A and B are shown apart, each in its own frame.
Chain A
Amino acid sequence: DTEVTQTPKHLVMGMTNKKSLKCEQHMGHRAMYWYKQKAKKPPELMFVYSYEKLSINESVPSRFSPECPNSSLLNLHLHALQPEDSALYLCASSRSDSQETQYFGPGTRLLVL
């Protein structure tokens, strides 16, 4: 199984809502990542988890809260988002957080109204 799955595929939320994005992989990878991708732009790294511990937070606002319940799952909790947070949110995983190939999920397309 070389797949990273993400749910939901699409999400529309108001600025006062609380929602969560989910990501799952069963490749035994020990590093997982959240990226934000705006239209016609490259992915921007948000968070890195290595062995279920947060190792990198790229100065992301606190309205985004990551969680890694176990080595296969990664969540991104969303609260009080702004319209400019509308984007494609991509999850990825790799064997380790070294110079490894990352395997990406299809993404969650988020619209904040």
Chain B
Amino acid sequence: GDSVTQMEGPVTLSEEAFLTINCTYTATGYPSLFWYVQYPGEGLQLLLKATKADDKGSNKGFEATYRKETTSFHLEKGSVQVSDSAVYFCALSDDTSGTYKYIFGTGTRLKVLA
């Protein structure tokens, strides 16, 4: 079945450091891929998405490229800020096999130190 695997956290970085959070997926169809962010005490917010292979999603300095050959959708940011501290969820949505699925990874907690 479909699944999403994220790197274990927590990830602790200094301000202005480079960020990578790995995400790989398995899917039987042609899913759309998403990164959501959850700040403490809040619901999830869409960070970026990609709907087909080689698409690059980007928002607020974050980027991720839909790589079908490696079944990956890694999140990157060139220079993190303290305000980026949150939990990041990779997710896939797939209804191409006729059954609707929306699956989240386990989440990666990011802590950015000043």
Task: Please say whether chains A and B are actual partners in one complex.
Answer: yes
Which residues of A come within 8 Å of B, CB atoms?
4, 6, 33, 40-43, 45, 48, 55-56, 90, 92, 97-107
Give Cα A90 to B42, complex, Å.
10
Which 4 pairs, one residue from A and one from B, show the smallest C-beta to C-beta distance? A104-B43, A42-B104, A99-B32, A99-B93
Is B89 close to A, CB under 8 A? yes
A99 and B31 contact, Cβ closer than 8 Å, known pairs A42-B105, A42-B107: yes
Total contacts A-B at CB 8 Å = 52
Is B102 close to A, CB under 8 A? yes
- Contact partner, A42, options B46, B49, B51, B106, Cβ 8 Å: B106
**Is there an interface contact between B31 and A101, defined as CB atoms closer than 8 Å?**
no
B105 partner residues in chain A, CB cutoff 8 A = 42
A99 and B94 contact, Cβ closer than 8 Å, known pairs A42-B106, A43-B104, A56-B100: yes
Give Cα A24 to B36, complex, Å.
21
Which residues of B come within 8 Å of A, CB atoms?
31-32, 34, 36, 41-46, 49, 51, 89, 93-95, 100, 102, 104-107
B102 partner residues in chain A, CB cutoff 8 A = 33, 45, 102
A60 to chain B, nearest CB (A): 15
A90 partner residues in chain B, CB cutoff 8 A = 43-44
- Contact partner, A101, options B34, B43, B95, B104, Cβ 8 Å: B34
- Contact partner, A98, options B36, B42, B95, B107, Cβ 8 Å: B95
Q: In this complex, which of A4, A41, A48, A98 has the most chain B Cβ atoms within 10 angstroms of its Cβ?
A: A98
B31 partner residues in chain A, CB cutoff 8 A = 99
B24 to chain A, nearest CB (A): 15
**Is there an interface contact between A104 and B51, defined as CB atoms closer than 8 Å?**
no
Q: Which residue of A lies closest to B32 (CB)?
A: A99
Give Cα A97 to B102, complex, Å.
10
Q: Which residue of B lies closest to A50 (CB)?
A: B100
Give Cα A92 to B102, complex, Å.
12
Give Cα A90 to B45, complex, Å.
12
- Contact partner, B95, options A43, A99, A103, A107, Cβ 8 Å: A99
B7 to chain A, nearest CB (A): 14
- Contact partner, A107, options B32, B34, B43, B100, Cβ 8 Å: B43
